[in-house]
Amino acid sequence: MPSSCLVRSLAAVTVLFAAPGWPCAGEDGEPVSYFDAAVLSRPGLQPFLYTPGASFHERAVPPGDENLDEWAQFFEGKVDRAAWAQLLYRDGLERLDALINRLSAKQPVAPPPADAAFFAFPDRPRLLAALMYVGFAKRVEPIALAARPADAWSEPVVVDRAAQAPRIDRLSAAGAKQAAAERDPFLRQRYAFQLLRLQFYRGDAPKVLALAETWRSELSRPGVIGARALCTVGGALRRSGDLARANLAFARAWDASDDVKEVALVSLKLASEKDLAATLALAQTPRERAVVWTLLGARGSELRALEQVRTLAPDSDLQGLLLARAVVKAVGKVEGAGAVDGARLVRWLRSEVAKQPRSFQLQLALAHTGAARADAKAFAAASAAAALAPADAATQRQLRVTSAYALLSAPGPLDEALLLRHVAPLLTAPVGSDFDAFVREALSRRWATQAPVLSAAFLGAPKGFDLRSLLALEAFLAGGGKTPVEQLAVQGWTAPPQRLARHIALARLAGADAVGAQAAFASDASPLGADPFWLHARDCLECDQADTARPTVTRAQALTRMAALQRAGSPEALVELGTALYNFTEWGNACVGEHELNQAFFQSAAALARRALQAKDREVRARAALLLAKTELQAFYQSPAYVSDRVDFQAGEGFRALAGLEDTRFAREVLAECGYYRTFRGKR
């Protein structure tokens, strides 16, 4: 059975012959890292920027193609890249053989359009040598792919290697002869790699290792083929039982080429401290030991690996990979065996920053992790990172994201001048999901103390409701009026300003501020489903909509009346206002279609009902008691107890208050209509 390196690398190893593909994305689409790869590390490390919900090998950017890059250097850029890729990855042997015959013809022939790029190459012997190699590689490929499953859900195919042995022997003999005759080091290396593959898929691990020694000088050339050869050797060593040497081969392959990083990491086996110690003992340089620790960190031990890498290779590109993974796991509150303790990470980062205050990566990591923990010092770290950062666009965007996140997460009032400075560039450009998610989290945390109603409502924002709306709402909460932040949000919002105004108005209405919401609906003549001021013991939307005796109520009319009720402030007015707020939810008769605002409307209606319970008029108090009970019932319907256990509704404050008003006409009506209330009365 092939090693996991080779099993997982079928698509990657055969990039010589088949079109490169995208790794699997998460169920929700392409994963998006919280960090830009250009900020914390080189782009080749992008697959390892851990994103909660996505495995380490998933990418947010298309992979490169080192193999094509190397072929372009071989041809000195004189063969069209697309034409060569078509021939190398997609065309069959028939097309290749026809091209070789035309190029080898003694009499000049007019090339077809598809061959023009090859006929234009000035060094025909060099081109023919390359094409002969590609022909050999395409004949090896079916053997390498014989065990490949039909799709990701199928089991590997069981291959009769004994039946393939004669074909492998013939190809090996022909390949060895061609390799011996070839003088170009680039092509000799590729022939040697194909000879290794043939023996590996024959299952002859000792022969793979012997060939690797024979072709050592060719295979040790830097580049993607040398890295793939290391991976093949690692598979053979694992089959031979030499796990430590196999691990070291995979680590060297990982460090040698971006194209094999996913494969090499999957293949590495560090299941115990003994495995780790044995592999480290074979490493010949501090860099090799640092790479082994990095791969351990990429398997879920980021902090431990960071401490070792900082000692072994403090100025290497490895630190960025581990920092990104540790920070994102801490920020995302990943649980389980791979969790990173955010408090411990912050302590470690502060310790390292004290030693190296001019490290951009460390300062940025400290700022981002601190912001997630609402650390008041996070913005200072972001400012320090900004002073050290490169000027490229990716880095500057990452800094703006982290700076805005730190500002919004800090306790206390917002510094509007700083917010404008750091958020404005992000509002005038396309906003990525990373910034959007951070801002939602930060604003929700702020509102949890400043405005609990809106905190619950906007943790998951309504459909079509974007970041700029949230910033505008923050400005309203901070003091209302046309503040600079609010103006910026309205100007930069992609939807019409009226839509933003209505979202804000509904949010204010959910907080029982009908006066503040009225203006946005002053000219809205769209009808509501039914009269929202109608209080029922048992909701029946269809009944209300079918009742033609009551006049149609428009949104403008409803808001005008609700504003008047708010200004009146009497117990009767409070009950009527609370009834309308209840009916604006999905459980009422006049739903306004804002699912995320349901709980905010319920909470406001309940608060108004409690105030109205102080009325002297017992009928008003009875109506207030029912309104309160209805909000308590809806809270129960959405609680884990109801969803999971289907337990019976337990009467709360509303029904208890109504039971003390049983002499009222309204209480008697409720008793006749409401089964929950009758059950409650029967248990008393």
430 and 470 together in one domain: yes
394 and 464 together in one domain: no
407 and 319 together in one domain: yes
HEC per residue, 290-322: HHHHHHHHCCCCHHHHHHHHHHHCCCCCHHHHH
Q: Where are the alpha helices (DSSP H) in 268-392?
A: 273-282, 286-297, 302-312, 318-331, 342-355, 360-372, 378-388
Domain total in the chain: 3
419 and 357 together in one domain: no
366 and 447 together in one domain: no
Instruction: State the Cα–Cα distance between residues 448 and 379, nearest whole angstrom.
Output: 21
Instruction: State the Cα–Cα distance between residues 248 and 228, nearest whole angstrom.
Output: 14
649 by DSSP, 3-state: which?
coil
Domain assignment present for residue 41? The answer is no
Please provide the DSSP assignment of 497-550 as one string: HHHHHHHHHHHHHHTT-HHHHHGGGTT--PBPSS-TT---SS--HHHHHH-TTS
488 and 547 together in one domain: no
Domain assignment present for residue 532? The answer is yes
pLDDT at position 171 is 95
Which whole-number Å values give the CA distances from 587 to 217, 278, 536, 583, 653, in the listed order? 76, 65, 12, 7, 20
Instruction: State the Cα–Cα distance between residues 20 and 334, nearest whole angstrom.
Output: 32
Domain assignment present for residue 588? The answer is yes
545 and 628 together in one domain: yes
HEC per residue, 539-571: CCHHHHHHCCCCCCCEHHHHHHHHHHHHHHCCH
Query: Final residue of a domain: which of 494, 527, 555?
Result: 494
Domain assignment present for residue 45? The answer is no
Our CA angle for 387, 392, 395, nearest 5°, is 65
483 and 568 together in one domain: no
Instruction: State the Cα–Cα distance between residues 571 and 273, nearest whole angstrom.
Output: 71
292 and 388 together in one domain: yes
Its sign, for the CA torsion 554, 560, 563, 567, is negative
DSSP secondary structure code for residue 7 in this structure: H
673 and 531 together in one domain: yes
380 and 424 together in one domain: no
pLDDT at position 24 is 20
Our CA angle for 294, 299, 300, nearest 5°, is 100
484 and 558 together in one domain: no
Domain assignment present for residue 503? The answer is no
Domain assignment present for residue 295? The answer is yes
DSSP secondary structure code for residue 429 in this structure: S
Ramachandran assignment for 652, one of left (phi > 0), alpha (psi -120 to 50 degrees), beta (any other)? beta
Tens digit of each residue's pLDDT (9 = 90 or more) over 240-294: 999 999 999 999 999 998 888 878 888 888 888 999 999 999 999 999 999 999 9
Cβ contact 131:99 at 8 Å: yes
Cβ contact 57:254 at 8 Å: no
* Phi, psi dihedrals of residue 562, rounded to the nearest 5°: -65, -40
Domain assignment present for residue 621? The answer is yes
Angle formed by the axes of helices 665-673 and 675-683, to 10°? 100
Q: Which domain range does residue 562 map to?
A: 517-683
Query: Final residue of a domain: which of 412, 436, 456?
Result: 412
Which whole-number Å values give the CA distances from 174 to 13, 66, 216, 382, 400, in the listed order? 21, 27, 20, 61, 59
Domain assignment present for residue 365? The answer is yes
Tokens of 547: 């009742």
Query: Final residue of a domain: which of 412, 446, 474?
Result: 412
* 293: CATH: 1.25.40
HEC per residue, 660-682: CCCCCHHHHHHHHHCHHHHHHHH
Which residues in the chain come in under a pLDDT of 50? Answer: 1-34, 37-39, 41, 43-44, 46-47, 50-63, 429-433, 448-468, 476-477, 479-497, 644-645, 683-684
pTM over 0.85: no
Helix-strand-coil split of the chain, %, nearest 5: 65, 0, 30
Instruction: State the Cα–Cα distance between residues 567 and 77, nearest whole angstrom.
Output: 78
Cβ contact 321:49 at 8 Å: yes
